[in-house]
Every structure is written in C-alpha cells, then in structure tokens.
C-alpha cells in the first residue's frame, strides 16, 4: 500500500473544514464579531486619552479619532432598537469626563489604601488593578448602551494583561481598589458599593447551577460600602450580601449574607513549629502565631 501524500491529506482536510454545519463554532461565525486587534487598539487608545491627554489641542485630534474608530467597530454589530452607531458613539463620548473622574478617585483610593505606593504616578503606570478597573469602567459604559461583544472583548483583554477578570456588566461604586489583583474574579451581576478594597485571589462569583435556567438573573453577591476582602476569599451567590463596613478574612468561603460591621475569618489551621535537626542556631518560637484580623 502506497503511503498517503500530503496533497491528498490537504484536500480532504479542506473539504472537511469547509463543510457547513450547525455546531457552535459555525453559529458564532454566522453571528459575526468585530476584529479583536481593532477592539484592543481602540481600548488602549481610549484608556490613554482618559489617563494622559490634557492638552486641548491634542484632545481636538484624539477625541475625533477615538469616535471614528468606535464608529467603525460599532457599525459591524447589531444594536438595540432605536440606537444607531452614531447615537451610541455620541453618548459614549459624553460619558468620558465622568469615567475620568471615577478613575481619579480610584487612583486616590489606591494611594490611600496601599502604604507601598510612593506617588500617584506610580499607581497610574504600575498598578495592574488600576489598569483592569480603567478598562472595566470604559467597557461598562458601552455595556450600558447595549453594545454587544465589544465590552467583553475589552475586559478579557485586561484580564489577559493583569489576571483580573471583571465582567463589564458588574456595578462598581466609587473609590474602588484592587491590590495586587492576580486571580480576582468579579461576575456579571455583582454589585459593589463605594470604598471597597479587594486583594488577590478574591472571587465574587455564582453558585454552580444550570446556566440557561438563570441567565439574566442576579447570580453574584452584593458588597456594600467600606468592605475589605482579603486574599483568596470566595463569596458566592446572588442572594449573598456583605454588610457595610465588614472585613472578610483570607480564604474565607461564604454563600450566606453577613450583617454590617461583621468580621469573618476561618479557623486558624494547626501549626507544628519545632527546631530543625542540624540547625544549631535555631530556637523554638516563644509565642504561637497570631491569626486575628
């Protein structure tokens, strides 16, 4: 039997890949979506304009360019009834000063909340939490205008850069701070109040259920004002409310509400501390480890 030639394999592969079908990938292609690179480039430009550009003559060049690029993207999408690419673009532009004000307050929250911060400039250029929050706040405006796909593409771009996953449908109040940030997840229907601080590895997620039965319903927790949630905590469920001023300790697992001013922490794990053999200078600690938060 003669060995198969690459040309024959190519033809059969092309025929199979080009065959029409009804699978999920075919449906996605039929629905259509904007070019990922164009959305990412526009996102970075919008973030740069809000963060860095203050000169009026520069803004006269930047803002029309931002609008033109957004128009090109939005024209490829199906918009809500009574909305046009032009109306969506105009309404988004009018929200940019408000987004800038929110981000300025987020920078202040980071500076006030992190003793390692030496300047506002350091937060602006070196804090991944602010990067993710900035993209979220821009994407949230488009999400609120009913623009499909693009807000998710924007926040997933930030997710890939920072490790922080914020759904554009979440509602997040003023002076929000995510410290370190890697592994943070904030779900679509999450509601977060003002002056909330999260640390790395926090999940504000949903309980595992059949997704199609509760699509569109509130599935993620509500975090009221002035709450601090430490690293690794998991808070799940649409009926879960963390009361104002509460502190949630590291690695806590919560699926039930807690009242205002609560302090929640896990039982400290058992620690066996002794002297390592062959290390003559080592001394056993005089006091046990302290776990109070």
Tens digits of residue pLDDT in 144-190 = 999 999 999 999 999 999 999 999 999 999 999 999 999 999 999 99
Calculate the alpha carbon distances from 125 to 14, 72, 132, 133 in Å: 47, 29, 12, 13
* Predicted confidence band of residue 28 (pLDDT cuts 50, 70, 90): confident
In 3-state terms, what secondary structure has residue 130? helix
Q: Out of 23-32, 87-96, 183-192, 218-227, which region has the weakest mean confidence (pLDDT)?
A: 23-32
The boundaries of every CATH 1.10.3130.10 domain in the chain are 31-163
- Look over the chain and give the mean of its residue pLDDT values, rounded to a whole number: 92
Of 233, 241, 235, whose CA–CA distance to 266 is shortest?
233
* Predicted local distance difference test score (pLDDT) of residue 7: 79
Cα 27 from Cα 266, distance rounded (Å): 46
Q: Out of 31-35, 138-142, 147-151, 201-205, which region has the weakest mean confidence (pLDDT)?
A: 31-35
Dihedral sign from CA coordinates of 199, 245, 99, 186: positive
In 3-state terms, what secondary structure has residue 138? helix
Residue 124 near residue 130, CB atoms below 8 Å: yes
Q: Does residue 125 have a pLDDT over 80?
A: yes
In 3-state terms, what secondary structure has residue 228? strand
DSSP strand pairing (263-264 vs 203-205): unpaired
> What are the helix (H) ranges across 53-127?
56-74, 85-113, 120-126
Query: Percent of the chain scored above 70 by pLDDT?
Result: 93
**Each residue's pLDDT tens digit, 237-273:** 999 999 999 999 999 999 999 999 999 999 888 888 8
Number of CB atoms found within 10 A of residue 185's CB: 18
pTM: 0.89
CATH class of 170-271: mainly beta
Residue 242 near residue 227, CB atoms below 8 Å: yes
* Predicted confidence band of residue 216 (pLDDT cuts 50, 70, 90): confident
Of 199, 204, 163, 156, whose CA–CA distance to 182 is shortest?
163
* Predicted confidence band of residue 286 (pLDDT cuts 50, 70, 90): low
* Predicted local distance difference test score (pLDDT) of residue 272: 83
Dihedral sign from CA coordinates of 182, 183, 188, 193: negative
DSSP strand pairing (247-248 vs 253-254): unpaired
- Is domain 31-163 given the CATH code 3.40.50.300 in the classification? no
> H/E element holding 155?
helix 150-162
* Predicted local distance difference test score (pLDDT) of residue 290: 62
CA 164 to chain centre: 5
The boundaries of every CATH 2.160.10.10 domain in the chain are 170-271
Cα 127 from Cα 136, distance rounded (Å): 15
62: number of CA atoms within 13 Å, CB side?
18
Of 217, 286, 203, whose CA–CA distance to 250 is shortest?
203
């Amino acid at each position: 039997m003669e060995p198969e030639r690459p040309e024959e394999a190519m033809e059969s592969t092309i025929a199979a890949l080009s065959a029409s079908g009804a699978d999920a990938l075919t449906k996605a292609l039929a629905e259509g979506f904007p070019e990922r690179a164009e959305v990412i480039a526009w996102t970075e430009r919008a973030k740069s304009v809000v963060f860095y550009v203050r000169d009026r003559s520069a803004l006269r060049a930047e803002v029309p360019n931002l609008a033109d690029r957004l128009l090109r993207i939005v024209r490829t999408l199906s918009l809500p009834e009574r909305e046009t690419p032009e109306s969506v673009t105009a309404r988004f532009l009018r929200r940019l000063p408000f987004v800038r004000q929110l981000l300025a307050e987020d920078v202040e929250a980071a500076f006030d909340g992190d003793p390692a911060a030496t300047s506002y400039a350091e937060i602006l250029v070196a804090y991944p939490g602010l990067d993710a929050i900035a993209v979220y706040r821009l994407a949230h405006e488009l999400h609120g205008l009913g623009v499909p796909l693009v807000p998710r593409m924007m926040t997933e771009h930030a997710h890939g850069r920072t490790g922080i996953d914020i759904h554009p449908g979440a509602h997040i109040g003023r002076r929000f701070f995510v410290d370190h940030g890697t592994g943070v997840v904030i779900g679509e229907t999450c509601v977060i109040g003002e002056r909330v601080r999260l640390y790395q590895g926090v999940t504000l997620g949903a309980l595992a259920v059949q997704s199609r039965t509760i699509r569109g319903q509130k599935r993620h927790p509500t975090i009221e004002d002035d709450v601090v949630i430490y690293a690794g905590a998991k808070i799940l469920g649409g009926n879960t409310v963390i009361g104002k001023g509460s502190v949630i300790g590291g690695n806590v697992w919560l699926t039930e509400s807690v009242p205002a001013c609560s302090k929640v922490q896990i039982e400290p794990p058992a620690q066996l501390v002794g002297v390592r053999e062959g290390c003559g200078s080592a001394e056993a600690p005089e006091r046990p480890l302290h776990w109070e938060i």
